[in-house]
Amino acid sequence: MGKADMAGVDFRRRTLLKGSMASMLSPIVLSGCSGGGAHANVLTDGEAGQAQDSVSLQQAGYRARLYTPTMITRLLGTYFIVDCWHHRIIHSRNLHAPLVRWKTLDDDIAGPHSIATDGTFHVAEDTGRHGLFVYRETAPDHFERVQHVPDVGIRPHRTLYDAEHQQFLVVGSADQSINLLEVQGGRLVRTLTRIIPELGRQYCRSITLHEGLLYFVGEADIVVYGVDRGRVSPTGSVIHLPEVWQGSNDLFFLGRRRGLFMSTPGKACAFDSVDALGRGEVQDLSATFRGTPYFVTQFDGRLWIPEITEYSALRSYPASGDAVTAESAQTLFDFGLPDEASLERKRAIVT
């Protein structure tokens, strides 16, 4: 979030007016993980069958809602929602389970934005505290936090796993850094931290790995690097965005060249190539969304685009990307504007 937080405040006001890592920790069993803990089982077994019961929802408080869900994804058969401004990541084997029945991976994590896995370790950003948390599934549907990696840039904002080179890539949004980490001796070890000078001082919310190239999604520029194990290198390619599309959130490829682009506040478009995006030759999709569209994922035969900041929702669209419209949307969760419990939770931990 970062600048999106501040920009989103102004956008949210308008919406309302319209109708409104080297330090390691011993393995810790998270109190909210599956199998126990106050947050894992908000409801009793009897209540679970009526999870949307109004009394149960009141008892659940903010846990019955989402507030700026920056990502939904499926990893190794488990669904994860990164509930950024509720400072938590939740998971479920059943995508359509009521939200109060999703289990908590972590609820002491400062404004996380994404989660990725290499098949053994799950890695997520502790954005507000400039680090990463590493988790491991030690029993079916039961996770432990096994490592903390501090000082991963300033405000680490997006984590990817590069399967070809067996490494995690993490972008520091506020210091324009790329951080590479790989597993050595059962722990995540940093192999590179490098500033991307082409970004200047641009806030960088995301990175995209596509066909061997790493795209840094800066506020006003998309910077393209090559990537290898333990290193990245400039290609010389920088795509300057038209002013109307600046404020970048995410770049998602649908094929070799065409894709989707998300921007703050409340903007989205489809493009035939990144060069065409740079020229402003795009299809404007902004009217599809009530909130600001964020990190795009693809699973279960659908494209998933979360809506954040001024309006919180999770919806999916046809996988082709040819019909990202309100009519084609399937809504998983729609919570709209935050309630007081959500606002209080956001204030509880630095974002």
What distance in Å separates the CA atoms of residue 80 and residue 317, rounded to the nearest whole number?
Answer: 18
Give the other-Cβ count within 10 Å of 287's Cβ.
10
Give the pTM. Answer: 0.85
Structural domain including 279 reads: 3-348
The total of other beta-carbon atoms located within 10 Å of residue 258's CB is 16
Residue 9 C-alpha from the chain's centroid: 19
Would you call 314 helix, strand, or coil by DSSP? strand
The residue-averaged pLDDT of 211-236 equals 98
For residue 79, is pLDDT > 60? yes
Which stretch of DSSP H or E encloses residue 196?
Answer: none
| CATH for 331 | 2.120.10.30
Query: Per-residue pLDDT for 32 more than 50?
Result: no
Structure tokens, 137: 């599934």
CB-CB contact of 123 with 159 (8 Å): yes
Work out the percent of the chain whose per-residue pLDDT is above 70: 83
Is residue 180 within 8 A of residue 196, CB to CB? The reply is no
Q: What is the mean pLDDT of residues 97-121?
A: 98
Per-residue pLDDT at 37 exceeds 50 = no
Of 116, 32, 6, residue with least CA distance to 351:
6
Which range of 14-18, 49-53, 69-73 scores highest in mean pLDDT? It is 69-73
Burial group, residue 131, by CB count within 10 angstroms (0-12, 13-18, 19+): buried
| Per-residue pLDDT band at 43 (split at 50, 70, 90) | very low
Task: Work out the mean pLDDT of the chain and round it to a whole number.
Answer: 88
Q: What is the mean pLDDT of residues 274-284?
A: 98
Residue 117 has pLDDT above 80, yes or no: yes
Confidence (pLDDT) at 4: 42
| Lowest model confidence (mean pLDDT) among 4-8, 80-84, 255-259 | 4-8
Can you give the pLDDT at residue 56? 63
Nearest CA to 333 out of 296, 306, 293, 297 is that of 306
Question: What is the amino acid identity at position 284?
Answer: D
Cβ atoms of 294 and 308 closer than 8 Å: yes
Per-residue DSSP letter, 9? H
What single-letter DSSP state applies at residue 85? G
**pLDDT band at residue 93 using 50, 70 and 90 as cut-offs:** very high
Q: How confident is the model at residue 60 (pLDDT cuts 50, 70, 90)?
A: confident
Distance CA 66, CA 102 (A): 12
Question: So what's the pLDDT on residue 59?
Answer: 79
The pLDDT tens digits for 132-170 are: 999 999 999 999 999 999 999 999 999 999 999 999 999
Residue with tokens 């404007």: 284
How many domains are contained in the chain? 1
